[in-house]
Amino acid sequence: MNLIGISINHRTSSLELREALHLNRDEIVSLIPLLKEQIFSEGVVISTCNRTEILGFPQTEGLDVNSIIGSLLQAKPIDGIKPEYFTRFFSCGAVKHLFSVASGIDSMVIGDSQILGQVKEAFEISEDLDFAGSISRRIFDTAIKVGKRAIKETTIGEGAVTVSYASVQVVEKIFANLEKKSALVIGAGESGELAAIHLRDKGVGKITISNRTIERAEKLAEKVHGEIVPFQFLKEHLHNFDIIISATSSNELIIHADEIKTAMKKRKGTPVVLMDIAVPRDIDPDVRKIDNVFYHDMDSLKIIVDQNMQKRKEQIPLVEKIVMEELVGFFNWYNTLDVVPTIKSIRSFFEEIRLDELEKIKNKVSDEDFTKIEDMTRRMVGRLLHNPTVKLRGFAESGANIKEVLTNTLILKELFNLEDFPTNGKSDAEENHNSEGNDEKN
Amino acid sequence: MSQTITTLNVLLPLLYLTSFTVYLYDFFKEQKAVGNVNRIILFITIIVHVSYLLALTVEYDHPPITTKFEIFSIIACSIAFSYFILELLTDIRGTGAFIILFSVVFQVISSIFIGPNYKVPEVLRNRLLGLHVISALLGYSGIIISAVYGVLFWLLYRNLKENKFGLIFNRLPSLEILEKLSYYAAVIGFILLTLAIVIGIIWLPKAFPDFSYFDPKLTGTLFVWLVYGVGITSKWIANLYGKKFIIFSLIGFIVAIASLIVTNSLARTFHSFY
């Protein structure tokens, strides 16, 4: 297989370079014609904030990998990019790398759930631009299968790996039914926004946003279908919330212990969760001494994140096993591509003889008898060719020795002089795809 | 039949131990492969246990409620059965090991010390007594399960307060669920205990003409019933949240155990049949 790929990712380059090289959909759409014209017959461009990858089948042999980097930089000229920032992949290694990427084990955040969708989208762009062939389709279908199996069969994507999500995980350990709970998010910055989105995704009944700049609060509230409470009236409303997440950039405490004590009296002791994901802290840590008040700050939430990251790392061998299984499955299929033209030729050869002989007796027998003879010869040819077809394909699918497969197909071609029986102009892969499962019918 | 009883008597502690081990393994490892295995093993154990109790009834011609060790076996079965129903209803599986442990202890003691018992007082052959004892034992099972969930609630509460995110945090359900499980188990226990007391009051004058309402066993059970009654009513009326209700549940459990020990070992009561 002559698949070639390059990758610039979190292991090979800085965040600044990766960000600078990130290609949006339009940029990918502009790059693909360039690749199609100069380098690849089919391929894919994957670009996320943490990686940019180009994979494809070269039009000619002996392709200089640096020319792929050249095309990329031609589409997106960036200063300071050096060839050593790119990892290169070939053949089986390129397929394995793609499977690993789709499974999330190659991501910066191991088990990243977004990468599978990004791989899928990248291939869809290639298909739309007629840059995808049957082999690359099979590779990407399998890659997506790997990603789905990794999610289903392992816990690689489980557990919170961001502080915002960890705070929601803690909330779930206190309350069973979040639909009946109300949450207050103080601060509409990046962390506050993430926390509010996680709360919305978890189905929290009512979300309220409070921020010094009311416009930002309104914007975030609209995003999470929530309400706002003006920052200056915040403390009067504390008792109304079961969950309070604070993520402001304030240098001073926003919520003090005595304010929570007062709120708890109004709440008649019903529990409240306070998540302080701000640095420096927004909530007085003394609140943890109050009964039924569950207070967590960045330090405690970081413990959860680290634990979950460790758990995900422990799942990598299981995912690698899935990658290997699918890799073997893929190459079993790929190896059959070598025997399909031979199978096709041998069938054409036998069919031609059959039709030739039928033609000779057509006028010597009645129509009724001719139909019977025609059926009989079709069945006969089918039965004669069934075993060689199954054996030849099985031989290829075992994938043990590609040279042996080639030798066998060569012997068959020599024995029956099959060079004159082409495969109707369809690509080998398509033929193989179409003929899968047809042996029994034949 | 005798041979079957002996075999089941040996088999039961092993089945409970297996069930406990699988639940414990699931608690620590949370393997997807375990799936329904723990539930299936527990179901088989309960079926075998019910068969064993029926075999005892047929062989000795009376329900197995006449000795401490027969009763221990019924307690083991009723705890396992109550937990099994609770697990089916809630689909919360992480807590099985903590409950099944009680079944293991009761059944092991029962299997070691139980013996053939063909001769029993005529009063113990009464059908109403069977209902009285079964409802009382199921009631106490509810109390035990409520207390176990109370302890688990307490552990998770402490872990959350002290920012400990280990096994307890990862594997137990939420505080709200633990509280509900403890509450529902207490309510079921309370209802069954009420039923046992009512049947007892109806049946007592017929069976024991010289009994006293101040009998230690009666007053002890009534005290346990009162503690749970107050706890459940407070939760219902005053919306008693989590920790405060759990304290009631745990006090009720301690009182129930103390009452059982005192009335069975130290005090003289008409309830002593063996």
Q: What is the CATH number of the domain that holds A227?
A: 3.40.50.720
Confidence band of B255 (pLDDT split at 50, 70, 90): confident
Across the A/B interface, how many CB contacts are shorter than 8 Å?
Answer: 45
Confidence band of B3 (pLDDT split at 50, 70, 90): confident
Same-domain check for residues B100 and B225: no
Same-domain check for residues A387 and A407: yes
Same-domain check for residues B185 and B60: no
**DSSP one-letter code for A107:** S
B241 neighbourhood in chain A, CB within 8 Å: 268-271, 292
Calpha distance A31→A54 (Å, rounded): 10
Sorted by sequence, the CB contacts under 8 Å of residue A415 that are 6+ apart come out as none
A440 lies in some domain:
no
- Asked if residue A327 has pLDDT above 90, the reply is yes
Q: Which residue among B120, B139, B156 closes a domain?
A: B120
- Asked if residue B265 has pLDDT above 90, the reply is no
A322 lies in some domain:
no
Confidence band of A398 (pLDDT split at 50, 70, 90): low
A314 lies in some domain:
no
* Residue of A273 and A405 predicted with greater confidence: A273
A319 lies in some domain:
no
Domain membership of residue B272 as a residue range: 126-274
A400 C-beta neighbours (distance < 10 Å), count: 10
Among residues A34, A36, A8, which one has the least CA distance to residue A22?
A: A8
Percentage of residues of chain B with pLDDT beyond 70: 90
**Of A102-116, A345-359, B58-72, minimum mean pLDDT range:** B58-72
Residue at A40: amino acid letter? F
Q: What is the DSSP string of A149-163?
A: HHHHHS-TT-S--SH
Calpha distance B153→B157 (Å, rounded): 6
Same-domain check for residues A206 and A75: no
Domains: count for chain A: 3
Length of chain A: 442
Domains: count for chain B: 2
A324 lies in some domain:
no
Same-domain check for residues A8 and A153: yes
Residue with tokens 């109050």: A290
Task: Identify the pLDDT of residue B272.
Answer: 56
Residue with tokens 């007082």: B121
Average pLDDT across chain A, whole number:
86
Contact B181, B92 (CB under 8 A): yes
Same-domain check for residues B38 and B96: yes
- Asked if residue B187 has pLDDT above 50, the reply is yes
- Phi, psi dihedrals of residue A177, rounded to the nearest 5°: -115, 100
Question: Which residues 49-108 of chain B have a CB within 8 Å of chain A?
Answer: none
CA closest to B243 among chain A residues: A292
Would you call B234 helix, strand, or coil by DSSP?
A: helix
| Segment B108-133 mean pLDDT | 78
Query: Does the active-site annotation cover A49?
Result: yes
Same-domain check for residues B130 and B258: yes
Same-domain check for residues A149 and A57: yes
Q: Which residue among A139, A157, A175 closes a domain?
A: A157
CA dihedral B105, B111, B117, B122 (to 10 degrees): 20
- Asked if residue B12 has pLDDT above 80, the reply is yes
Taking only the tens place, the pLDDT of each residue in A196-249 is 998 998 899 999 999 999 999 999 999 999 999 999 999 899 999 999 999 998
Task: Identify the pLDDT of residue B2.
Answer: 79
Task: For residue A173, give the nearest of B169, B241, B243 by CB distance.
Answer: B169
User: Across the interface, do A300 and B169 touch by the CB < 8 Å criterion?
Assistant: no
* Residue of A164 and A378 predicted with greater confidence: A378
Task: Identify the pLDDT of residue A28.
Answer: 93
Strand stretches in A264-339, DSSP E: 272-276, 293-297
A82 lies in some domain:
yes
Same-domain check for residues B184 and B111: no
Confidence band of A19 (pLDDT split at 50, 70, 90): confident
- Asked if residue B126 has pLDDT above 80, the reply is no
Single out the catalytic residue among A49, A279, A355, A361.
Answer: A49
**Of A425-434, B88-97, B188-197, minimum mean pLDDT range:** A425-434
For residue B182, give how far its alpha carbon lies from the nearest alpha carbon of chain A (Å): 14
Same-domain check for residues B17 and B112: yes
B161 neighbourhood in chain A, CB within 8 Å: 288, 294
Domain membership of residue A302 as a residue range: 163-309
Is the ipTM higher than 0.90? The answer is no
Confidence band of B270 (pLDDT split at 50, 70, 90): low
Sorted by sequence, the CB contacts under 8 Å of residue A356 that are 6+ apart come out as none
For residue B240, give how far its alpha carbon lies from the nearest alpha carbon of chain A (Å): 9
User: Across the interface, do B165 and A177 touch by the CB < 8 Å criterion?
Assistant: no
- Asked if residue B171 has pLDDT above 90, the reply is no
Same-domain check for residues A12 and A147: yes
Same-domain check for residues B144 and B178: yes
Same-domain check for residues B134 and B263: yes
Same-domain check for residues A208 and A172: yes
Could you give the C-alpha distances from A139 to A102, A133, A292, B186, B197, in angstroms and in order? 11, 10, 54, 58, 71
Same-domain check for residues B101 and B192: no
For residue B229, give how far its alpha carbon lies from the nearest alpha carbon of chain A (Å): 22
Same-domain check for residues A348 and A425: yes
CA closest to B174 among chain A residues: A173
| Segment B209-217 mean pLDDT | 74
Same-domain check for residues B140 and B255: yes
The domain that holds A36 is classified in CATH as: 3.30.460.30
Same-domain check for residues A254 and A232: yes
CA closest to B159 among chain A residues: A294
Same-domain check for residues A29 and A129: yes
Q: Which residue among A138, A157, A176 closes a domain?
A: A157
Same-domain check for residues B105 and B143: no
Interface test with A, best of B161, B179, B243, B246 (most A CBs within 10 A): B161
Task: For residue A307, give the nearest of B165, B174, B243 by CB distance.
Answer: B165
Calpha distance A285→A290 (Å, rounded): 10
A171 lies in some domain:
yes
Same-domain check for residues A204 and A168: yes
Contact A282, A255 (CB under 8 A): yes
- Asked if residue A421 has pLDDT above 90, the reply is no
Q: Which residue among B60, B93, B120 closes a domain?
A: B120
Calpha distance A116→A232 (Å, rounded): 44
| Segment A56-62 mean pLDDT | 87
Same-domain check for residues A282 and A370: no
Could you give the C-alpha distances from B56 to A114, A368, B78, in angstroms and in order? 61, 81, 16
Same-domain check for residues B183 and B108: no
Q: Which residue among A157, A179, A208 closes a domain?
A: A157
Same-domain check for residues A8 and A137: yes
Calpha distance B230→B235 (Å, rounded): 8
A168 lies in some domain:
yes
